[in-house]
Each structure stands twice: as C-alpha cells, then as structure tokens.
Amino acid sequence: MLKAILGEQLGKPTKTIAGWLVSLFFKTRNVVLEENAVRLCNIQPDDTVLEVGFGPGVGLSEAAKYLTGPKGKLYGIDYSEYMYKMASRNLHSLLEAGRLCLFHGSVERIPLSDSTVDKVYHCNCYYFWPDLRTGSREIHRVMKPGAVMVSTLYLESIMSCASKGILNSKKWEPEPYMAALRDTGFIDVRMETRQHKGKEFQAIFATAIK
Ligand SMILES: C[S@@+](CC[C@H](N)C(=O)[O-])C[C@H]1O[C@@H](n2cnc3c(N)ncnc32)[C@H](O)[C@@H]1O
C-alpha cells in the first residue's frame, strides 16, 4: 500500500502530504542530477531549452543561469498540476521577467512548434511516461536537427526502487528507453556513468537527426 502510494507520487505528485514529502525529496536528493543534466547539455546563451518533468523547478532555475543572451528561451512541461503550481511559485521571478514559460501537460503533447529546441533535458522522468516511443517521438519533433538531449538518473537507486516494488513496470530500464530513442530518429544514443560532488550517476545522451 505505502509502496504503491510512493510510486504514484514519484510519477505524478499530488497536493497531499505524500506529494509534499516527495517534492522535498526532489529538492534535496536530485539537485546533483538536475545540475548535471543542465551542465552536460552545454547550454549556450541564446539557446532554446526544454525540461520535461521539471518537478519543483530546481533544474529550470539552474538552466536559466546559462541563458543570458537576448534570444535565450526556457520552457518546461510537467504532467502534475501540483508540481506545475509549485514550480510556478518557486520560479515566479523568471516567469514575470518573461525568461521562462511553463506548460502543464504530458511529454506526449508538447505545445511547441516543430524543430525549435536546441537542448532538452530530464531527470528521473522517462520511467513514468505512458509510452516511451510516443514520448521520444514528440520530443524529437520539437528538436532542431543536431539538437542534444540529456537524461540523468541514479541507476542503483532506481533498481532498488524496482526491486522493492515501488516502480512496478519495466520502463525504468535504460535499454528500452534508449531503443525507443533510436527507433524515433535519435543517433549517438549512449549511457555514461559520471561522478559529481562524490555522487555517481548515469547520463543518457541522444542527438536528434531529421
Ligand atoms: C520523479 S519526478 C522527478 C522530478 C525532477 N525532475 C527531479 O529529478 O527531482 C518525475 C516528474 O516527471 C513528471 N512526469 C511524469 N510523467 C510525465 C509526463 N508524461 N509528461 C510530463 N511530465 C511527467 C512528474 O509529474 C514529476 O514531476
């Protein structure tokens, strides 16, 4: 019962005590993943950047530091209304300054035009998508040719969650996600293990071709 609640809240936090606790966990434990997803994207000052599944907004606030050019644009999309509202509060100054645009919606329907995004990143997210190929195809649609996507995760923690029944589908496994990326038009798909601030994490890289 508790495991099922935790699994549901990790995938789509709601405005409940469990959802609030999960959001605190994102803000502390996942900072290294968010910072590194942003860093590994190699964001340039005038890029257009998208985060999928932004949670409380830690990664968006990091990405904004790199987008210092007059053409720089930052977008985020998240499925959870609670996370959308929490990130909107946490990032109100970026929103008010017109430096950020947030969408409440699913990766399967991103309200951006074709071939407009230079960099995409997401952390701990693909395992909750309804369908890996549909999500990958939709991200690919909005990316420019040659644009790069980085996904970060703690593989060991994810495996542990899966073995405890907190994640109950097989969608957390990196291989099906990487296969979905290749099937939907990404090249140079690879997973690397990296270290930062004494923590080991995995980064999955992919480049869009048209
Ligand atoms: C485990 S949380 C990770 C949050 C944050 N990226 C982090 O690492 O702390 C997963 C996030 O992805 C969002 N999410 C899940 N499925 C999604 C989908 N289909 N489209 C967009 N966002 C989704 C959830 O609402 C949640 O905010």
Specify the ligand 1 atom closest to the Cα of 55. 27
- pLDDT tens, 140-190? 999 999 999 999 999 999 999 999 888 867 789 999 999 999 999 999 999
- How confident is the model at residue 35, as a pLDDT? 97
- Measured from the Cβ of residue 53, the count of other Cβ atoms closer than 10 Å reads 25
Residue nearest to atom 5 of ligand 1 (CA): 55
Is 120 within 8 Å of 28 (Cβ atoms)?
no
Rounded CA separation 1/181 (Å):
33
pTM to 2 decimal places: 0.96
Can you give the C-alpha Rg of the chain in angstroms? Answer: 16
- How confident is the model at residue 127, as a pLDDT? 93
- How confident is the model at residue 118, as a pLDDT? 98
Three-state DSSP string of the chain:
CHHHHHHHHHHCCCCCHHHHHHHHHHHHHCHHHHHHHHHHHCCCCCCEEEEECCCCCHHHHHHHHHCCCCCCEEEEEECCHHHHHHHHHHCHHHHHCCCEEEEECCCCCCCCCCCCEEEEEEECCHHHCCCHHHHHHHHHHHEEEEEEEEEEECHHHHHHHHHCCCCCCHHHCHHHHHHHHHHCCEEEEEEEEEEECCEEEEEEEEEECC
CATH number for region 2-208: 3.40.50.150
Residue nearest to atom 11 of ligand 1 (CA): 53
Q: Where are the domains of the chain?
A: 2-208
- pLDDT tens, 69-121? 999 999 999 999 999 999 999 999 999 999 999 999 999 999 999 999 999 99
Specify the ligand 1 atom closest to the Cα of 122. 6
Residue nearest to atom 8 of ligand 1 (CA): 123
Ligand 1 contacts (CB < 6 A) are: 10-13, 26, 30, 33-34, 52-55, 77-80, 83, 106-107, 123-125, 128-129
Distance between Cα 4 and ligand 1 center (Å): 17
Residue in this structure with the two tokens 């190929």, named with its chain if needed: 133
Distance between Cα 12 and ligand 1 center (Å): 7
Residue nearest to atom 10 of ligand 1 (CA): 125
Over residues 1-7, mean pLDDT:
84
pLDDT at residue 4 is higher than 90: no
Ligand 1, pocket-test mutation among 29, 60, 88, 128, most atoms within 8 A of CB: 128
